[in-house]
Amino acid sequence: MTVRDVERNAMRRALALAVNGPAGFNPQVGAVILAPDGRILAEGWHRGAGTAHAEVDALSRLSPGEAEGATAVVTLEPCNHTGRTGPCSRALLSAGISRVLYAVDDPGVVSAGGADTLRAAGVEVEAGVLGDEGRELLSSWLTVQRLGRPHVTVKWAQSLDGRAAASDGTSRWITGAAARQDVHRRRAMADAIVVGTGTVLSDDPSLTARDADGALLADQPRPVVIGERQTPPEAAVRRHPREPLFFSSHDLSRVLDDLRRQGVQRVFVEGGPTLASAFVRAGLVDEVLAYVAPTLLGGPRLALDDIGVETIGAAVRLTLSSVERLGDDILLVARCAPTPSPANVKDS
C-alpha cells in the first residue's frame, strides 16, 4: 500500500495533537480524519482516562455520514476492547472509514487487535507510518506496558574508588558543576524522584530540578520518600512545588505499583546506597547512571552495599550504553537486562 505525502503530513499533525493530552497511565494519542481528496475533515486527541479516545474525539466533530469513505490517521493502533469507552475499531467501521493508517502497534493483551478487526471488515490498514516518531512519543508509556511497572533509573555519584561519601559521611560535592547540572536535567525528565528517609534526615535534599543559577525548571519530578522513619515537618522536601508522597513500606514492587496507578512512568532513584542497593537487589532497576569523579576517598562508604551477590557467577551484568565526559567527571550509563511483564494498556 502506498502512503501519500498528505497522509504522512497528517500523521505529523496527529503526533503534534497527541501531546495535548496528559501523559500518565494512558497513552497520548492523536487522530486526523482525511477526506478522499486529502482535506482535513476533523482532528482529535485523547484527553485522559474515561474520555473519548482520539479517533472517537475526531469523529464526534463530523456530521453523520461525513466520514464515509474517509481515511483515519492515528498515532496508535485503534483499540479493540470495551473499557470505560467502546472499541475504536468499531467506531471507525460505524462511521464508514475506508482506510486507516497508524504509527505504533498497541502492545496490550486485551486492547490490541483493532487492525485485524478493521482488515477483516474490508478496511485498508497501513501500520508503522512514521513509526519511529510514534515510538519516540510513546517511549515511556511503551516501556511501562512492557515492564508492568514504571521504568526505574538509579543514579549515584562516586569517587574513582567507588565511594559515595568520605568516612565522616560528607559527600558534597564529589562531582563537579557540570555533572550536577546534568543530574538536574535528568531529574526534570522523570515523573518521580525517590529517596529514602536516611537521605532526607542526613542531607535534607529539596529534590527539585534546577538550572545552573538555582532557579526551578519548568518540569518538576514528584518527590517520593521511602522508609519507616518520620520526615520532619521542616524538611526541605515538604516545600517542594509538588506534594511529596511518603511510603513506610519496604516492598518496592508495591511502591512502584502505587506510583504507576498515579500515572508515574519514569522513576529516578537518588536515595543513597541503602535504597539503591535495595532496588538492585529486588531486580527493579532498568538503568544505572554512575557519575564518577577522579577522586580517591577510601573508607567504608561504598556507592552500593549488599545487593545479594555472593559469588562472581551471580554478578549483576549490565550493558554499557554510553560514556560521557562532564567537566572532570565521567558519566557511565548502563542498562540492565529487560524483565518483561505482560500488562494490558488503555484504561479507556
Q: CB–CB of 33/78 below 8 Å?
A: no
Sorting pLDDT into bands at 50, 70 and 90, what band is 209? Answer: very high
Let me know if residue 346 belongs to a domain.
Answer: no
Residues 88, 155: one domain?
Answer: no
CB neighbour list of residue 24: distance below 8 Å, 6 or more residues apart: 48, 263, 264, 265
Task: Give dist(CA 130, CA 30) in Å, integer.
Answer: 13
One domain for residues 156 and 214: yes
Residue 41 lies in a domain: yes
**Same-domain pairing of 152 and 123:** no
Structural domains in the chain (count): 2
Pairwise CA distance, residues 34 & 40, whole Å: 5
One domain for residues 291 and 312: yes
For residues 211 and 300, membership in a common domain is answered with yes
Decide: helix, strand or coil at residue 62.
coil
**Has residue 347 been placed in a domain?**
no
- Give the Cβ contact number of residue 258 at 10 Å: 15
Concatenating the DSSP letter of every residue in 149-218 gives: S-EEEEEEEEETTSBSS-TTS--TTSS-HHHHHHHHHHHHH-SEEEEEHHHHHHH------B-TTSPBPS
Residue 254, pLDDT above cutoff 90: yes
343 in a domain, yes or no?
Answer: no
Are 307 and 233 members of one domain? yes
For residue 331, the domain's CATH number is: 3.40.430.10
C-alpha 93: how far from its chain's center? 32
Instruction: Tell me, yes or no, whether 119 and 162 share the same domain.
Output: no
Burial class (CB in 10 A: 0-12, 13-18, 19+), 122: exposed
Spatial distance between the Cα atoms of 119 and 125, rounded to a whole number of angstroms: 6
Express each pLDDT in 161-187 by its tens digit: 999 988 887 777 889 999 999 999 999
Contact (CB, 8 A) for 18 and 28: yes
Q: How confident is the model at residue 345 (pLDDT cuts 50, 70, 90)?
A: very low
Q: Are residues 155 and 302 in the same domain?
A: yes
Task: Give the range of the structural domain holding residue 60, as residue numbers without chain letter.
Answer: 5-137
Length, in residues, of the chain: 348
Q: What distance in Å separates the CA atoms of residue 287 and residue 336, rounded to the nearest whole number?
A: 6
The answer to the question of residue 168 being in a domain is yes
The answer to whether residues 172 and 31 belong to one domain is no
pLDDT in tens, 61-100: 999 999 999 999 999 999 987 776 778 999 999 999 999 9
Asked whether residue 169 falls in the same domain as residue 73, the answer is no
The answer, yes or no, to whether the previous bond of 173 is cis (omega within 30 of 0) is: yes
pLDDT, residue 348, reads 44
- Do 21 and 152 share a domain, yes or no? no
333 contacts 156 by C-beta, under 8 angstroms: no
What is the average pLDDT across 328-333?
95
C-alpha cell read off for 22: 496528559
Asked if residue 128 is part of any domain, the answer here is yes
CATH number at residue 122: 3.40.140.10
Domain end (from 93, 117, 137): 137
Which of 105-109, 130-134, 285-289, 326-330 is predicted least confidently?
Answer: 105-109
Q: Of 85, 113, 137, which residue constitutes the final position of a domain?
A: 137
Q: How far is CA 17 from CA 95, 137, 215, in A?
A: 21, 11, 30
Residue 342 is assigned to a structural domain of this protein = no
The residues carrying an active-site annotation are 55
Same domain, 311 and 188: yes
Predicted structure pTM score: 0.74
Picking from 106, 137, 168, the residue at the C-terminal end of a domain is: 137
- Split at pLDDT 50, 70, 90, the class of 1 is low
Residue 345 in domain: no
Q: Of the ranges 98-107, 166-175, 258-267, which one carries the lowest mean pLDDT score?
A: 166-175
